[in-house]
C-alpha cells in the first residue's frame, strides 16, 4: 500500500482546473505556434513526478533557477531585460514586463520558447525535450502523452477499465511480492487474474503501446505507457488483437489480446501453468522506474467496470 499516492484513486472534484489549463495551453499555442498538446504533456509529466499529497497546482512545470534567471543572476532579478543580460531563459508571458517562475503564463511561455530554440516540428521538439531533460524515457513518456492528448483532444481523461472482460468468469487475489523461482529467486511484480483461454484482455487506461512481442518470463506480452507516467504490463497472453501495433494510442476497454498461459521458455512455450493474465504496474519518477502493487487499483477499476455494464 505504500505506493498508492503515485496513482490517484479520485478524480479531481473541480473540472474547472482542466478548463483553465486548456485555456492556458491554447493561449500559449497561439503566441508561439507550439501545439498545445506538447505543453500539456510536459506539464502532465512533471505533475506526475510529484507526491500527490502536495496541493495540486494549475501548472506543474518547473524550470531550474539557473536556467530561468541565468548564470550570475544571484539576486534572481525578474526584469526581462536583466534576465536577457544574464543569458537566462525566463520570459514574460502575460505582458507585465517581468518573468516570474511563479506565474503560470510566464512558465508556459518560457517552456514553449525553450522548445522553439530547436523548432516547432515533432522531431525538433523531441530534440529540445532531450536537451532539457537528458533522459530518453522522459522524452518518450512526454511524446506518448502528447499523442494521447492530440488523439482525444482533451486532458481530462479519467476513465478506467478492468484488464479482463468482466462478463467472463475470472478470479484474482493480491499476489504482488510473492516469491517466484523460474529464472532465479525473484518477487512477483504484479497480480495474476485467472480466466479461461481466449478471454479478452482490455487496456485499463489511456496510453500508447510501447512494447509487444515475446518475453522469456511473460510469454506474449504488451506494455502500455499511460498519461500518469505508469507502465502497464500484460503478460502470458495467448496472442494479440490483429489491429494493435507498437506506437498505437489506446483507451480503456480496447481489446489488446486474450488470456493464455505462454512463457517460461523460448517463443511458443505454453501450458506450464494455468491460463491467466499477469498484470503489472511500474512507476517512473523521472529518475528510476519500479514495480508497485496493482491490486488496490484493480479492485477500484473492477467496481467501475461493473457500474458501467
Q: Is it the case that residue 145 has pLDDT exceeding 50?
A: yes
* pLDDT value at residue 176: 78
pLDDT, tens digit (0-9, with 9 covering 90-100), for 97-117: 999 999 999 999 999 999 999
Alpha-carbon span 50 to 283, nearest angstrom: 12
CATH number of 170-308: 2.70.70.10
- Tell me the average pLDDT across 164-168: 96
Give the phi and the psi of residue 234 in degrees, each rounded to 5: -115, 120
Average pLDDT of the chain? 91
Per-residue confidence band for 120, with pLDDT thresholds at 50, 70 and 90: very high
pLDDT over 70 for what percent of the chain? Answer: 91
Name all contacts of 124-127 with Cβ < 8 Å and 24+ positions apart.
125/34, 125/38
**First-residue to last-residue Cα distance in the chain:** 28
Cell matching residue 47: 505533475
Per-residue confidence band for 187, with pLDDT thresholds at 50, 70 and 90: low
Alpha-carbon span 40 to 26, nearest angstrom: 10
- Tell me the average pLDDT across 229-242: 96
Q: Is it the case that residue 271 has pLDDT exceeding 50?
A: yes
Give the phi and the psi of residue 109 in degrees, each rounded to 5: -65, -40
CA proximity to 292, closest of 5, 9, 3: 3
Per-residue confidence band for 14, with pLDDT thresholds at 50, 70 and 90: low
Q: Is it the case that residue 185 has pLDDT exceeding 70?
A: no
Where in the chain do CATH 2.70.70.10 domains reside? Answer: 170-308
pLDDT, tens digit (0-9, with 9 covering 90-100), for 272-306: 999 999 999 999 988 888 889 999 999 999 999 99
Amino acid at each position: 500500500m505504500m505506493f498508492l499516492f503515485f496513482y490517484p484513486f479520485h478524480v479531481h472534484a473541480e473540472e474547472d482546473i482542466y478548463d483553465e489549463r486548456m485555456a492556458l495551453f491554447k493561449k500559449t499555442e497561439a503566441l508561439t505556434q507550439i501545439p498545445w498538446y506538447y505543453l500539456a504533456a510536459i506539464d502532465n509529466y512533471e505533475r506526475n513526478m510529484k507526491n500527490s499529497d502536495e496541493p495540486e497546482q494549475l501548472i506543474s512545470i518547473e524550470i531550474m533557477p539557473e536556467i530561468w534567471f541565468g548564470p550570475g543572476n544571484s539576486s534572481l532579478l525578474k526584469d526581462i531585460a536583466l534576465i536577457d543580460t544574464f543569458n537566462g531563459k525566463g520570459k514574460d508571458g502575460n505582458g507585465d514586463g517581468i518573468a516570474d517562475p511563479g506565474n503560470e503564463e510566464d512558465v508556459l511561455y518560457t517552456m514553449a520558447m525553450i522548445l522553439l530554440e530547436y523548432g516547432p516540428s515533432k522531431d525538433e521538439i523531441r530534440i529540445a525535450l532531450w536537451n532539457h531533460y537528458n533522459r530518453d524515457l522522459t522524452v518518450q513518456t512526454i511524446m506518448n502523452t502528447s499523442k494521447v492528448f492530440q488523439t482525444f483532444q482533451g486532458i481530462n481523461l479519467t476513465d478506467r477499465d478492468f484488464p479482463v472482460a468482466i462478463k467472463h468468469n475470472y478470479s484474482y487475489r493480491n499476489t504482488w511480492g510473492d516469491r517466484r523461482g523460474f529464472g532465479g529467486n525473484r518477487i512477483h511484480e504484479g497480480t495474476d487474474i485467472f480466466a479461461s483461454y481466449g478471454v479478452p484482455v482490455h487496456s485499463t487506461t489511456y496510453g500508447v503501446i510501447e512494447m509487444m512481442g515475446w518475453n522469456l518470463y511473460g510469454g506474449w506480452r504488451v506494455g502500455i505507457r499511460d498519461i500518469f507516467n505508469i507502465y502497464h504490463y500484460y503478460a502470458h497472453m495467448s496472442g494479440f488483437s490483429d489491429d494493435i501495433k507498437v506506437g498505437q494510442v489506446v483507451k480503456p476497454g480496447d481489446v489488446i489480446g486474450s488470456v493464455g498461459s505462454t512463457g517460461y521458455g523460448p517463443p511458443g512455450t505454453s501450458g506450464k501453468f494455468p491460463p491467466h493474465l499477469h498484470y503489472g504496474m511500474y512507476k517512473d519518477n523521472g529518475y528510476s522506474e519500479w514495480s508497485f502493487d496493482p491490486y488496490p487499483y484493480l479492485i477500484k477499476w473492477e467496481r467501475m467496470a461493473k457500474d458501467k455494464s
